[in-house]
Amino acid sequence: MRFDMKLGLVVVEFFDDSGEVATTIPSPQKLKAYEAALSGGQAHAPPPLAPAPDKAPSAGTGEPRNGRDGLAVVA
């Protein structure tokens, strides 16, 4: 993994047997799109992230409680 300072993204790199980058997440095309969007280029920026949904009624309180072995558990 590496942090791309210019884009503000973490890039996961997978290497082949010779040590060269075989593939990345996001893909090279997506990285170029991010870069073009930041510089005002023609490429489209990735869609914005959707806000987190409200808690479901069955969700926990979010308050910590003591679990096994004295560990705090948030539910």
Cβ pair 34, 26 in contact under 8 A: yes
Residue-wise pLDDT for 1-38, tens only, equals 999 988 889 999 999 999 999 999 999 999 999 888 88
Token digits of residue 60: 């926990």
Which residue ranges make up each domain of the chain? 2-74
Whole-structure pTM value: 0.48
pLDDT band at 47 (very low <50, low <70, confident <90, very high): low
Q: How far is CA 20 from CA 27, 29, 46, in A?
A: 15, 18, 27
Residue range 57-70: mean pLDDT, rounded:
62
